[in-house]
Amino acid sequence: MPSIRTNLTKLNQKAPVILAIESSCDDTAAAVLKNDTILANITSTQTIHEQYGGVVPELASRAHQQSIVPVVDAALRQAQIQLSDIDAIAYTRGPGLMGSLVVGTSFAKALSLALKKPLIDVHHMHGHILAHFINEGQAIPSFPFICLTVSGGHTQLVVVHSPTNLEIKGSTIDDAAGEAFDKIAKIIGLPYPGGPLVDKLAQKGNPDAFAFSKPQVVGYDFSFSGLKTSVLYFLQKQTAVDPDFVEKNKADICASVQRTILDILFKKLELLVKDTGIKDIAIAGGVSANTGLRQRLMDTGNKKGWNVFIPKFAYCTDNAAMIAMAGKFLYDAGIFGNQSQGAEARLPFLRSWNQ
Ligand code: KG4
Ligand code: ZN
């Protein structure tokens, strides 16, 4: 059976050009894809939120409004195409912050009307997962594969049967893994977003220095809110004795927290692999940029004989290239959006296009 990539490459001559827009949180992004190749990928990251210790939705939507036209313009220039070359417009319809999503959604709908080109509404997590198929010469997973999707809003175990048939096997019952990184980083006194900083500090620390409580959740679901509380109580107790405890032990705290988060993730991932027998294992989402997670996936894969798929850094955190790639698969399947669809902050993942 020819691989997905062979099929895509054969189509190259009449490959559609897809413009994609991503504005679900605090990155305004646009990308241009031709077939499975990215011609442009532009992201404008909003730095205004750093001073508030988290994303301020009102400020995020205002910044999207300011950036969206320049970002799309820059993407068209980088791709060396005109608006008239675009065959379809893909956009992130949800989930995310409503005020942020509305900017990208309205822009995409207006452009679709003006150019008389079809709209493709994309689920943000669908984009994260299908980013693995952006062609940069790397190996791609075979179907079915398991994807551990770990971002600031989601933590899921997904069996990907095909690009348009995805089965969620487990999800977090409270905080997402990225949220756990960010909230614990805040307790330690690190600025937002704390995940990458915990990662950096953890590289210099001892992962066995401190033990934190782990959740007892049945099946393939996850929980991270207990860990956050466990770290908070532990640090309150320690700083009562030594006010400089956090400062003196920052790297060890980060390494121990990161190790606990990875233990929680891998316990369920390994269980699902054992139960399904699937050996192609991918990670996706912002937390897949974590060096500890990437290393642990490689080590576990080597030990257990898995084929592991790790996205390149540019496609881990939010970007529009992944929305374009998901848009391309939906385009090929003839699944389009329409002008009466609005942004949805809690857009469900499983939809009627599963086939
Ligand atoms: O996918 P993403 O960019 O946005 C959402 O869809 O939520 O993920 C953002 C999340 C944040 O929580 C951020 O702290 C986390 O990904 N993150 C990391 C790392 N890089 C980003 N967490 C741990 N280690 C990293 N290196
Ligand atoms: Zn994301």
Nearest ligand 1 atom to the CA of 151 is 8
What's the confidence (pLDDT) of residue 349? 81
Fold classification of 143-311 (topology level):
Nucleotidyltransferase; domain 5 (3.30.420)
Over residues 165-171, the mean pLDDT reads: 96
Query: Is residue 355 scored above 50 in pLDDT?
Result: no
Over residues 35-63, the mean pLDDT reads: 93
Do residues 112 and 118 touch, judged by C-beta distance below 8 A?
yes
Q: How far is the CA of 169 from the centre of ligand 2 (A)?
A: 19
Nearest to 271 by CA among 125, 142, 148, 132: 148
b/e string for 237-275 if b means 16 or more Cβ within 10 A? ebeeeeeebeeebbbbbbbbbbbbbbebbbebbeebbee
Identify which ligand lies nearest to the alpha carbon of 198.
Answer: 1
pTM: 0.94
Identify which ligand lies nearest to the alpha carbon of 193.
Answer: 1
What does the domain layout of the chain look like in residue ranges?
17-132+316-333, 143-311
Nearest ligand 1 atom to the CA of 153 is 7
Q: How far is CA 143 from the centre of its chain?
A: 20
Q: How far is the CA of 25 from the centre of ligand 2 (A)?
A: 8
Copy the structure tokens of residue 327: 């848009």
**Angle at CA of residue 88, ends 352 and 86, nearest 5°:** 170
Tell whether ligand 1 has an atom less than 6 A from the beta carbon of residue 318.
yes
Pocket test for ligand 1, best of 151, 224, 254, 295 (most atoms within 8 A of CB): 151
pLDDT of 328-354, one tens digit each?
A: 999 999 999 999 999 999 998 865 555
pLDDT of 246-292, one tens digit each?
A: 999 999 999 999 999 999 999 999 999 999 999 999 999 999 999 99
Tell whether ligand 1 has an atom less than 6 A from the beta carbon of residue 178.
yes
What's the confidence (pLDDT) of residue 51? 86
Tell whether ligand 1 has an atom less than 6 A from the beta carbon of residue 287.
yes
Query: Is residue 324 scored above 90 in pLDDT?
Result: yes
One fold for 17-132+316-333 and 143-311: yes
Helices (runs of H) and strands (runs of E) counted in the chain: 10, 10
Q: What is the three-class DSSP state of 155?
A: strand
CATH architecture of 17-132+316-333: 2-Layer Sandwich (3.30)
Task: Compute the distance between CA of residue 153 and CA of residue 285 in angstroms, rounded to an integer.
Answer: 10
Do residues 132 and 163 touch, judged by C-beta distance below 8 A?
no
Q: How far is the CA of 297 from the centre of ligand 1 (A)?
A: 17
pLDDT of 188-218, one tens digit each?
A: 999 989 999 999 999 999 999 999 999 999 9
Tell whether ligand 1 has an atom less than 6 A from the beta carbon of residue 25.
yes
Query: Is residue 28 scored above 80 in pLDDT?
Result: yes
What's the confidence (pLDDT) of residue 14? 73
